Structure 1
Amino acid sequence: MAEQEQEYIWHKIFDSEEEAIAQVPVRKLHRFELGGRAVCFAHTSLGFFAIDDACPHLGYSLSRGTTNYLNEVVCPWHSYRYNLSNARECDYRTHNANLHPVEIRNDGIFIGLKSLTPSS
């Protein structure tokens, strides 16, 4: 069986950082459908973050929640909190979330989603 190597497929979500800031102000969230996957895009005082939109607890949309001063996204259903720097559930009550890298490039803002491809 071939070993699996993780690579990212990069999805452009905004043409510039200014556009991202205008559409998703600090402490706000936005849902994107990228490659058939729902992603919650967060803008906090520490920057931009992307996490799977479904709360690992019961699957509710995290993008319908809020962010807090601790750089966490808070699920609106049962208030489970996920650290946006490492995707850990803050009270250890459920699984951690899936975090995705965000890159600010000259030509826009991109979110990377992992793809499994066989290595050579």
Structure 2
Amino acid sequence: MPQPDTQYTWHKVFPSEEEAKAQVALRKLHHLEVDGRAICFAHTAAGFFALDDACPHLGHALSRGTTNYLNEVICPWHSYRYNLESGRECDYRTRNAVLHPVEIRSDGVYIGIRQKPTA
């Protein structure tokens, strides 16, 4: 019998994929608060992505930035670029972004927040 996925706590952020597309246009970013965390929600041609909204370089809100054709989010302060599939900072100048999985389910769009390990 398969074990339930206990690595993440899943949070419904939109009631449907259509609503997510209506609220976050293609190639746009949107700020969300999920489980006490600021999340940058991205909609690109490759799909939906979620990452912590604080740029790993100096903490500016990535949701105020832009996306590009390489499927990257670009910080508005110093133009650091983070790959939305891997979180990698594209020029290896700073830490990688913290990504969160996004699932499209029949009842909505969900973001997974990694559970903190229990002692």
| Aligned residue number for residue 45 of structure 2 | 45
Offset of residue 118 of structure 1: 3.7
Structure 2 Cα separation of the partners of residues 23 and 118 of structure 1: 36
Greater relative contact order (Cα < 8 A, sep 6+): 1
Q: Give the structure 1 partner of residue 86 of structure 2.
A: 86
User: Which residues of 2 match residues 1-12 of structure 1 at below 5 A?
Assistant: 7-12=7-12
Q: Hey, what's the Cα distance between the residues in 1 that align with 2:44 and 2:112?
A: 19
Tell me the amino acid that sits aligned with residue 107 of structure 1.
D
Partner of 2:34: 34
Local SS of the residue matching 1:116: coil
Distance (whole Å) between structure 2 residues aligned to residue 117 and residue 56 of structure 1: 22
SS, match of residue 19 in structure 2: helix
Greater share of strand residues, 1 or 2?
1
Q: Is the 1:31–1:38 Cα contact (8 Å) retained in structure 2?
A: yes
- Misfit runs of 4+, over 3 Å: none
Displacement after TM superposition at 1:116 (Å): 2.2
Identical amino acids, percent of aligned pairs: 70
Runs of 5+ in structure 2 lacking a partner? 1-5
2:109 paired with 1:116 = no
Deviation readout 1:7-34 (Å, 9 max, x if unpaired): 1011101000000001101100001111
In structure 2, C-alpha distance between the alignment counterparts of 1:25 and 1:91, rounded to whole Å = 27
Gaps (5+ residues) in structure 1? 1-5
Report Cα offsets for 1:42-83 as digits up to 9, x if no partner: 000000000100000000000000000000000000000000
Q: 2:92 and 2:84 mapped to 1: Cα distance?
A: 15
- TM-score, normalization by structure 1: 0.92
Over the aligned positions, Cα root-mean-square deviation in angstroms equals 1.2
The alignment partner of 2:97 has SS state of coil
| Correspondence for 1:22 | 22
Residue in 2 that maps onto 1:69: 69
